[in-house]
Structure 1
Amino acid sequence: MEPGRRLTGVTSQLTSALEVSVRQGGVDLEATLDACCQIFPQLFSRTIQQHATDKQKSPPESILRQSVERHQADSVLPAAGRAPLDFAAVKHHLQTASHRAKALLLQALRRRVTRSSSRADVVETYVAGDLAGLQRVDEYTRHVLSALTPPEPHVVQQSWARLLNCLASFCSGRTYLCMYQPLMDTLLKVLQYQKLDAVTLDMVLATLQKLSLRRPAQTRMIEWGMVEWLVGFLQDHAVIPAYTLEYGCALLMNLCLRTAGRQKCVPHVNSVLKLLTDLLGSNNAQVLPYVNGTLYSILGQPEVRARATKLGLGQVLEYFMEKGSTDLRRQLEYIMRQYRGEGVDGAASDEDDDDIEDTEFLEEDIDADDPVVAEIGEHEGEELLATLRAGSDGAGRTAARRGLSPRQGGAVPGRPVSPRLPSTAHSDSVLVVA
């Protein structure tokens, strides 16, 4: 469950408690707090930790009030509230600090974007500061690539993957991430060959999907065999989480809009057609435009169309046209024309060098189910970034490196697109945190 739904659940619990209090003259706030903690544990965990150090037990109303106040304070950060960063210090800490301190700093950098009232501006400052070390390749750049490729799933790897996915949600971020090909090669290698926890897999896949709005990125992914990998990966669509399935299908469609991508489908035409026809019956309506876009594109290949005829694709399409919604029927009519050879290949022309920039959208999943939770005495978020502001003193930088407080020393789409809507939560992950 993403944060928005969790917060709605907490609101519902508090509203119910208020109604009971009005009717009966009182309410069990302990039970209300317990219910709220079950729905949104991250919202209350730090406040509960702080109150646990008190000699006297804190009343539940204090915990509820302080937790909600902290969330409100962190929800949207105006530009005036952002301390300008010393990027040299930021990169130094990301290279030399402990794993936990790195994860907290990466989380803070990401949240400055996701919780800002001017997100694109924040991303542009990160690009100007060369946050990932892509403009001037040096030892820090190699450290970033190494952090993305640990021998086992690791919290720092996931934190970097979340941040890259965040940057890739913006035009300037995509331009920045695409400028250094070894970064994309690393992401492709990680996705195809490394053991990943579920969240890191989602973040890397979504990052690549957003980068696939750029033609050079499409070309590189096709060269790396991403079409074939996606066809194999998506065969298990019945058990793949909604977020993963949506971005996987969207990436497959973007790559199949290219002639080279469609040609990669030909040797695997039976598997591709089975996958796409199975997905036409998916309960996840978000994937249908990408499934239909892929099907329309590959049917522009005579070899695929001939095989589809032998497999009786027309009957499958007619079945879904009868059962589907008005929008689905309209899309399937275009596909049927392509299947019969009556349509014009509507895929993006390989001679068209213009990149297609989708509307910038930052999904809530990027912040969801984050295993990084600050403990008592640790800086987090803007409080942590303030220790790395331009002109900050050495004591603050030392505290940031440790992650501790100084006080304590420690239609059928025919163009590349990206999904726009948030979806379901990720499965739990087992991460190495030290």
Structure 2
Amino acid sequence: MSSREAAKMGDILAMEADLLGMIKEYLKVGEFEETVHSFDKECKNKGKLVPKPQGNTLRDSKILIIQKDLLSSFDDGDHKVFFELWTENVPSEVRDTDAQAQRLEFYLHIHFTIYPLKNHPGRHDRAEFEDRISHFKQYLETRGAALSQTTEFLPYYALPFVPNPAVHPSFRDLFQDSWMPQLKVKLEQFLSVTLKPSNTPRLLTLYKEGGRTTKEAMQQLQLQLVESERRTANYMRKFSKMQAVYHNLIGITAELVDSLEATISGKMISPEYLQSVCVRLISSQMRQSVAQSTDFTRPGTASSLLRASIAPQRPKEVPMLPSLDYEKLKKDLVEGSDRLRSLLLQALRWRLTRSLHGEQRDTVLQAYISNDLLERYGTKQKTVLHLMRSKNETVRQYAARLINAFASLAEGRVYLSQIPFLLKLLTEALRREEKDSLTRENVLVALQKLSLRRSQQTAMIADELIGWLVDELQDSDCLSDYTLEYSVALLMNLCLRTKGKRKCAENAKHVLKVLTDLLGHENHEIRPYVNGALYSILCIPSVRQEAREMSVEEILCCYSKEENPELNRQIEFIIKQLNSAEEEGPESDDEDEEDDDEEDLMETDLDKEEILQPQPRELSGESLLTTEYLGIMTNMAKVKRRSAPPPQPSVDEPLQRPVTPGSHRNVNTM
């Protein structure tokens, strides 16, 4: 046997041994003990070499080394080594999609940028700082650009343009002794979770990577590629057309400049020449036949036609969407497969979120309500709303998304509030779903929007939702900014009611501790709701007494030193409430008071992170509805539009009427 053949045989034996090792690892993880014993015995009889399963020992040691190197380069300020290790070892899907990872990466870039100024503020380190500033600018223009619209990070986009950040008031927190250790703790926690070794057998990993998952991903990518190519071809056609028009205009402009120069030297321009130029000019904007049949000898004709060609067009009449067969829809939503249910829930939501604001959207919602889409009057054991209890996570998520879309519109909230068991389904899902799931997020946001209505507030308070919210907000760092804002806003809306305040008074110390901690949260969007909740519950004498014992006034005074006049004025009102001697105010729960609930709260977040993608030749969205569920056209009665939005309180005072984050931001913008 030649040396080449021997080497080839050795490679085959090594591959066979590695494959046998993967089989044994899979059997051991699956606890097939007798099979493992028989497998070992038979391999031994056949003279097959089976390597011992590697286990997690090697992977654990490698991960520990990587973690140690990352933390060491963090301490040394070695940004090049750190970000090389970061890019190699933190999965790209985590770095690109996980909000926590993106926030941490932003602060890490700040840490390495200001490191020379913090440790050795000398002339040499100043030059190093300038070099790092250029790296930071590059990051802000690339990966960091995604966070430019976030209030938390917006001030740091000015960092590269500040001559001495160490003395600038906007960046003084970065130079505190506690800032770097706190960031390091967050980094350690993130690495311990992200770089955790996997217990998945290698054989299963190979199957997943080379099996159906990859095939489905390829199909989806192919669909996206075809769509992208179609759009590209369309844009190229438009570009070529615009380029031709542009070249024509440049040529005509050059001729007109020549003509103007000729008139200066006394040469006359003939009417025929002007006519030909105008025809060419107008032909680029309008049909050639129109240009040739127009008399341009009349002064102002050409200029009038040109101005008319670029005048804004009158808005077209908005078409109404086709009617649907709602009985068939509801039947398939209850009895269809999980895949069909999910696609229908998605399509029905898209009808609301993608319709044009105004008459078109009102007509869609009115059709849903008049046909009782969610089966408010349903007497069957299983209705569309019971999809919230489906065993399929996608069905539950898309049912929650549709309910959230209903809750985004005033008439939709009226409809939902008339369903007796809806709140039970929603609060049940709130307590059952995983913390970071989109299902729970949509349920929470829907509840917050429903809390604009007094009847729903009363039911939520009775269902102990205040205690649940306070416990959730105790660990606010685990919540996304979106979830955090709606959680605090929901708590504030419930605290505006007398029963809500009394519920807080039952555990006043815990509630006050959570609310005062939230005042220091880095997400400043939640402060108006925290202030509103504090102001409300402090009208209860027992809560005021507890607040005095906890030195809440001193805590509030610390925050009033910030350069935020609006926040300072609100804190003044809260401190005044804290020191008042008034008894508890009048009962508010039994008053015959109307709901100030007229807002359209439809958000783009309703359609974010769609996990449901159509397969090849599978109908979805509007095409699914109009192909399979087209109904008889009916003339829907137009929805009465409500008049003006409710009056808003002065920005000086803490909020004292129910709001949602979306509506509050709109009011502030106005």
TM-score by length of 2: 0.49
Q: Of 80, 89, 107, which aligns to 2:328?
A: 89
* 1:385 aligned to which of 603, 625, 628: 625
Give CA deviations for 1:119-157 in whole Å, capped at 9, x if unaligned.
2332222111111000x2222x73334311235x61011
Select which of 96, 101, 120 maps to 2:362.
Answer: 120
* Counterpart Cα distance in 2 of 1:195 and 1:47: 28
Whole-angstrom CA distance in 2 between matches of 1:67 and 1:202: 38
Of residues 178, 199, 205, the one that matches 2:417 is 178
Which consecutive residues of structure 2, in runs of 5 or more, have no partner in the other structure? Answer: 1-96, 99-141, 147-216, 238-315, 634-650, 666-670
Aligned counterpart for 1:137 among listed residues 372, 378, 385:
378
Change over 3 Å in CA distance of 1:45–1:226 after alignment to 2: farther
Q: Deviations over 1:309-345 (max 9, x none)?
A: 0111111111111114111112111111111117897
Counterparts in 2 of 1:421 and 1:278: CA distance versus 1, 3 Å? same
Shift of the 299–131 alpha-carbon distance from structure 1 to 2, 3 Å rule, reads: same
Amino acid paired to 1:330: R
8 A Cα contact 1:257 1:348, kept in partner: no
1:420 match: secondary structure? helix
Residue 212 (str. 1) matches residue 451 (str. 2): yes
- Which residue of the partner structure matches residue 353 of structure 1? 593
Deviation at 1:415, TM superposition (A): 0.8
SS at 2:328 equivalent: helix
- Give the CA deviation at 1:231: 0.5
For the structure 1 residues 169 and 127, does the alpha-carbon distance in structure 2 shift closer, same or farther, using more than 3 Å as the test? same
The answer to whether the 8 A contact 2:540-2:583 is kept is no
1:232 matched residue in structure 2: 471
Equivalent residues, number:
353
2:561 & 2:515 partners in 1: Cα distance?
18
For residue 82 of structure 1, report the CA deviation from its aligned partner.
Answer: 1.5
Amino acid in the other structure paired with 1:137? G
Cα separation, partners in 2 of 1:288 and 1:172, compared to 1, 3 Å: same
Report the equivalent of 1:242. 481
Q: Superposed, which structure 2 residues align to 1:364-403 within 5 Å? A: 364-387=604-627, 388-391=629-632
Whole-angstrom distance in 2 between the partners of 1:120 and 1:177: 16
Query: Residues 110 and 163 of structure 1 are in contact (CA less than 8 Å); yes or no, is this contact kept in structure 2?
Result: yes
Aligned to 2:167: none
| Aligned-partner residue type, residue 369 of structure 1 | E
Q: What percentage of residue pairs aligned between the two structures are identical?
A: 37
1:212/1:416 contact within 8 Å kept: yes
2: CA distance, partners of 1:206 / 1:231: 16
Structure-2 residue corresponding to 1:419: 661
Distance 2:468 2:626 in 1: 43
The residue type paired with residue 515 of structure 2 is: L
Answering whether residue 223 of structure 2 is matched by residue 50 of structure 1, we say yes
State the shift of 1:292 in Å.
Answer: 0.6
Is the contact between residue 436 and residue 479 of structure 2 (CA under 8 Å) also seen in structure 1? no
C-alpha separation in 2, matches of 1:97 and 1:237: 39
Alignment-mate amino acid for residue 365 of structure 1? D
CA distance in 1, matches of 2:404, 2:384: 15
Which residue of structure 1 lines up, in the alignment, with residue 502 of structure 2? 263
> Which residue in 2 is equivalent to 1:407?
none
1:302 corresponds in structure 2 to 541
Quick check: 1:211–1:217 contact (8 Å CA) kept in 2? yes
Aligned in 2, Cα 1:191/1:93: closer, same or farther, shift over 3 Å? same
Cα 1:241–1:308 shift into 2, 3 Å? same
Whole-Å separation in 2 of the counterparts to 1:66 and 1:278: 54
Contact 2:323 2:632 in 1 (8 A): no
Residue by residue, what CA displacement relative to the aligned partner does 1:226-253 show, whole Å, maximum 9, x if unpaired? Answer: 0001000111111210111111101100
1:330-368 Cα offsets, whole Å, 9 max, x none, are 211111111111789789933242112152111111110
State the alpha-carbon separation in 2 of the partners of residues 68 and 418 from structure 1.
Answer: 44
Residue 191 to residue 82, structure 1, CA distance change in 2 (3 Å): same
For the residue of structure 1 that corresponds to 2:421, the secondary structure is helix
The answer to whether the Cα contact below 8 Å between 1:82 and 1:382 also exists between their aligned partners in 2 is no
**Alpha-carbon distance between aligned partners in 2 of 1:197 and 1:246, rounded to the nearest angstrom:** 15
- Taking the aligned partners of 1:201 and 1:169, their CA distance within structure 2 comes to 16
Q: For the Cα contact (< 8 Å) 2:220–2:615, is it kept in 1?
A: no
Equivalent of residue 517 in structure 2, options 278, 295, 298: 278
Kindly indicate whether residue 402 of structure 2 is the aligned counterpart of residue 166 of structure 1: no
Partners of 2:534 and 2:593 in 1: CA distance:
23
Q: Distance in 1 between matches of 2:582 and 2:568?
A: 16
SS at match of 1:181: coil
Structure 1 residues without counterparts, runs of 5 or longer? 3-8, 14-43, 53-57, 70-76, 393-410, 424-434
CA distance in 2, matches of 1:178, 1:51: 40
Q: Hey, what does 1:37 align to over in structure 2?
A: none
Q: Using the TM superposition, give the Cα deviation of residue 284 of structure 1 relative to its aligned residue in structure 2, in angstroms.
A: 1.5
- What letter matches 2:614 in structure 1? A
CA distance in 1, matches of 2:389, 2:509: 34
Larger CA Rg, structure 1 vs 2: 2
SS of the aligned residue for 1:322 comes to coil
1:340 aligns with 2:579: yes
Partners in 2 of 1:59 and 1:130 — Cα distance?
Answer: 36
Distance in 2, matches of 1:214 and 1:59, equals 44
The aligned amino acid for 2:539 is G
Alpha-carbon distance between aligned partners in 1 of 2:219 and 2:598, rounded to the nearest angstrom: 38
Quick one: distance in 2 between partners of 1:328 and 1:380? 47
Amino acid at match of 2:363: D
Contact 2:519–2:530, Cα closer than 8 Å, also in 1:
yes
Quick one: distance in 2 between partners of 1:173 and 1:68? 43
SS at match of 1:349: coil
Question: Counterpart of 1:338 in structure 2: which amino acid?
Answer: Q
Query: Closer, same or farther in 2 for the Cα pair 1:114/1:104, shift >3 Å?
Result: same
